[in-house]
Structure 1
Amino acid sequence: MEPQEPDDTTDDRGTGRRSRSSLPVGAFTRGAKLAALPVGFAGRTALGMGRRIGGAPADAVLTEVQRRTAEQVFSVLGQLKGGAMKMGQAMSIFEAALPEEIAAPYRETLTRLQDAAPPMPVDVVHRQLTAELGGDWRDRLVEVGDQPAAAASIGQVHRGRWHDGREVAVKMQYPGAAKALRSDLRQLSRISRLLGVLAPGIDVKALLQELEDRVVEELDYTLEAAAQQRFHEEYADDAEIFVPSVVHGTERVLVSSWMESTGSLADLIRDGSQDDRDRYGERYVRFLLTSPDRVGLLHADPHPGNFRVLPDGRLGVVDFGAVAHLPDGLPPALGPLLTAALAGDAQAVTDHLRSEGFLRPGTKIDPEVMAGYIAPFVEPAGAPTFTFSRAWLREQAGRVGLGGEGMSTSMKINLPPEYLLIHRVWLGGVGVLCQLNATAPFRSILEESIPGFEPPD
């Protein structure tokens, strides 16, 4: 949840819109920080060229420029609020390539900003409800708590009671959050060149456009309501998964049935028993990977706080603002690619990656090197069960991060925009499983969810 800013976070719906000339210093400070990034990049590039001329190896110069660039990019994004901070969270795909000493402070800054975010004042809450539900909103929402029960990324959730007696969760967006987010996203387009330094194999411009499109979709709660209701209907009779029904929805207010829980996966990560970690970890990853086939949608926010432990033992799922539309399920190319990787067929792995756009035209790479690079990533599918752990994840991150043995290979890999949310879920889901230290039948779950995946005997 981002702190509410009183400058350009107001909109034209009667909540005190200001002219550009009256915006406070904070609005310009945010833009100035973003604008300074390309300047810093130019300085670092010049420094790198000077060192290279002075005899420093080319790889060492590149690594130093990338390290300094990463420090500045993630430091600035971590200090920003509003849309820029949300964009920073979505850009975790780049964070995975960074050494821990850079990435850890960035994550800590984002967490601190979220934890310190003040709730909307009661009068602002009521104005939002009036603007979205009409002046007679109390006839339908007969009770609503003054204090938020939970935080969302661009708003907050209040507990209430609908006119028919149902207990409900009322998710409402901060006034002007949409305007602030769009403004910050425009500013962030300036740093595409810097991100290209961190990951030169990626078509950063196309990827940032896809990020922007998906993030902006999260602003429209009517889209979230439609996605949530589809999940609710599909899982209505499921023995392991529960999704709250949608009661009412507008662009900036979403009313859902209240879901009572005893905690979340985040709580299990902190102090859950190993049996619970294994049980709910398996349900979590099965939901993420099989729902595209069942619903035609992929829940694309795998944060452990979005997955709740219910009193009856089911796993409750919330927050459907970020979804990938996959009407035919997960991409059919994933199955043969995964099969080839497990079989050690280096040429087939490289051919599949190139045909799907993971290797850009003209990129040259030894198939054996490519197959060796991705082999550890598919290791969890190589046995009937796999125990995910932080140590295993750190080993993989160190191997492909700056200075790692796989760095030069990772620099050549592209992330096609259509795989952006799939990639986010895969990395995020594996990360949560590692935090849970869960043992799961990962291979059989992949067989259920990915067409064409045929693991070797």
Structure 2
Amino acid sequence: MSDLPRKAVTRTAKLAALPIGFAGRATWGIGKRIGGKSAEIVGRELQQRTAEQLFKVLGELKGGAMKFGQALSVFESALPEEVAGPYRAALTKLQEAAPPMPTRTVHTVLEERLGGQWRELFLEFEDKPSAAASIGQVHRAVWHDGRRVAVKVQYPGAGDALLSDLNQLGRFARLLGPLIPGMDIKPLISELRDRVSEELDYALEAQAQRAHAEEFDGDPDVVVPHVVHQCDQILVTEWIDGVPLAEIITGGDREQRDRAGQLLARFLFSGPARTGLLHADPHPGNFRLLPNEDGGWRLGVLDFGTVDRLPGGLPRPIGDSLRMTLDGEASAVYELLREEGFVKESIALEPDAVLDYLLPIIEPAEVEEFTFTRAWMRTQAARIGDPRSPAHQLGKQLNLPPAYLLIHRVTLSTIGVLCQLGATVRLRDELEAWVPGFVPDELGGEGSAVEDFGDEAFSDEEEVPQPPAAEA
């Protein structure tokens, strides 16, 4: 049996064992309740044991299992502290690391894609990866012109691994639901699965990164590394240093946390307005905090494998609905949500009840500055996730139109990271500056200068570079 099939069997076996483990713990929980422990305490212990096993397995795998784990990790702020605490380290680890592939495999891929003289393209190349993620791993190197670069090498068979893992996870998504109160796991897995082909296409990723790097070149707040070279399974970009956001979460000071949070919010909302693209993978492993010459900080942004294409920027109904909700215009908000498909024609809801549902969620947009905390996130998750809550009952009747699916996930994920940071952020400033409709037209236009980018930002075709010796 070759290495890849053997690994695939091992991966499948580990994932397949998860539901069996869940069932075993459920039986253990019943026994504990019979023994006299309260349902609440037993439920909490059961959730903790389940989560520990889940993230232990996900942390040992690549492919879709790790991708799912990374997506899930930003929502740990929604978990009760006594449950989240014991495995927060495992969640954070998923954001930054995975087992690397053997050096000989890396060299084989480089030779197949860059040619037999691939080493001549680099003045230096580190065989040990600096980072390993769900689809590929990154190596430090020095390009033949002296630039420090990051060389992203895709795992052989990454596509099959992604689909296999996500299909397997999808079969028992219902069992994973209780891990994150108020979150439906199945749509998350389906959306990750639908985006597999895009993530595997490094040409698309290079196009999105070029568009961002050009737009943010020289920006005082955001740094996006330029693309140096791209071909099938290989992406070479400029190297950027900086402190990983995961380290700011675990050990950053107040200034770093607040600055990281503000810049993350700024990038989230300004990106679509400036590039027509939404960076759709906002877990902490994709961000760095870089020191400025003046002693401040900038946000380094990595990994443009998943983006939402929004040629006109964020949809105007988002800004309109936020503004009208804050203004208490219940009927107008309700009608707009119905027009956009958030309320189906077959459903009738009380506009005031919809307003009551929305207001606590958008509290950060109501005030000049807001401190995002795990406690606030847990309160929102409990309010929406508790089946006895009116908010839960109303939420079940709302619909999420496909056009808003990725925007919704990215926004929730970003809020999750802000809560992990515990950052105090002037969110309203970013909404006023970048979100169409948030500022009434008569007070300053649509609140965002959005261009029609067309296709010119995505038309570059890059020739495969020749090693210096070959060029000579």
TM-score between both structures, scaled by the size of structure 2: 0.76
Quick one: which amino acid aligns to residue 268 of structure 1? I
Tell me the residue number matched to 1:292. 272
Residue 331 to residue 78, structure 1, CA distance change in 2 (3 Å): farther
Corresponding residue to 1:137 among 97, 118, 129 = 118
Corresponding residue to 1:372 among 356, 374, 386 = 356
Residue 327 to residue 314, structure 1, CA distance change in 2 (3 Å): same
Q: Which deviates further from its counterpart, 310-319 or 205-214?
A: 205-214
Determine the C-alpha separation between the residues in 1 that align with 2:75 and 2:189.
Answer: 12
Residue 411 to residue 71, structure 1, CA distance change in 2 (3 Å): farther
Determine the C-alpha separation between the residues in 1 that align with 2:419 and 2:260.
Answer: 13
3-state secondary structure, aligned to 2:360: helix
Verify the 8 A CA contact 1:168 1:255 in the aligned structure 2: yes
Corresponding residue to 1:244 among 206, 211, 225 = 225
- The answer on 1:363 being equivalent to 2:341 is no
Gaps of 5+ in 2: 31-41, 444-472
Corresponding residue to 1:411 among 379, 392, 396 = 396
What's the CA shift for 1:387?
A: 2.5
Quick one: which amino acid aligns to residue 439 of structure 1? T
Corresponding residue to 1:336 among 301, 314, 320 = 320
Determine the C-alpha separation between the residues in 2 that align with 1:306 and 1:209.
Answer: 22
Determine the C-alpha separation between the residues in 2 that align with 1:412 and 1:195.
Answer: 22
Tell me the residue number matched to 1:146. 127
After superposition, what is the alpha-carbon deviation per residue over 1:324-347, rounded to whole angstroms, capped at 9, x for unaligned? 111110011111110121012222
After superposition, what is the alpha-carbon deviation per residue over 1:178-211, rounded to whole angstroms, capped at 9, x for unaligned? 2211222333443467789999x99998775443
Superposition pairs of residues 303-318 of structure 1, within 5 angstroms: 303-312=283-292, 313-318=297-302
3-state secondary structure, aligned to 1:377: coil
What's the CA shift for 1:120?
A: 2.1
Residue 391 to residue 102, structure 1, CA distance change in 2 (3 Å): closer
Residue 328 to residue 72, structure 1, CA distance change in 2 (3 Å): same
- The answer on 1:402 being equivalent to 2:386 is yes
What's the CA shift for 1:302?
A: 1.6
Quick one: which amino acid aligns to residue 171 of structure 1? K
Gaps of 5+ in 1: 1-6, 11-15, 48-63
Determine the C-alpha separation between the residues in 2 that align with 1:73 and 1:436.
Answer: 22
Tell me the residue number matched to 2:465. none
Q: Which deviates further from its counterpart, 349-358 or 152-161?
A: 349-358
Superposition pairs of residues 130-279 of structure 1, within 5 angstroms: 130-191=111-172, 209-261=190-242, 263-279=243-259
Q: Which deviates further from its counterpart, 113-122 or 203-212?
A: 203-212
Quick one: which amino acid aligns to residue 223 of structure 2? F
Q: Which deviates further from its counterpart, 153-162 or 433-442?
A: 433-442
Q: Which deviates further from its counterpart, 323-332 or 394-403?
A: 394-403
Determine the C-alpha separation between the residues in 1 that align with 2:185 and 2:8.
Answer: 32
Residue 275 to residue 137, structure 1, CA distance change in 2 (3 Å): same
The number of residue pairs the alignment matches comes to 421
What's the CA shift for 1:168?
A: 0.8
Determine the C-alpha separation between the residues in 2 that align with 1:330 and 1:146.
Answer: 41
What's the CA shift for 1:167?
A: 1.1
3-state secondary structure, aligned to 2:320: helix
Tell me the residue number matched to 1:54. none
3-state secondary structure, aligned to 1:324: strand
Determine the C-alpha separation between the residues in 2 that align with 1:128 and 1:320.
Answer: 21
Name segments (4+ residues, structure 1) moved above 4 Å.
22-25, 33-37, 67-78, 91-116, 191-199, 201-209
Q: Which deviates further from its counterpart, 25-34 or 390-399?
A: 25-34
Residue 73 to residue 288, structure 1, CA distance change in 2 (3 Å): same
3-state secondary structure, aligned to 1:161: strand
Corresponding residue to 2:57 among 63, 79, 85 = 79
Verify the 8 A CA contact 2:147 2:238 in the aligned structure 1: yes
Determine the C-alpha separation between the residues in 1 that align with 2:121 and 2:113.
Answer: 12
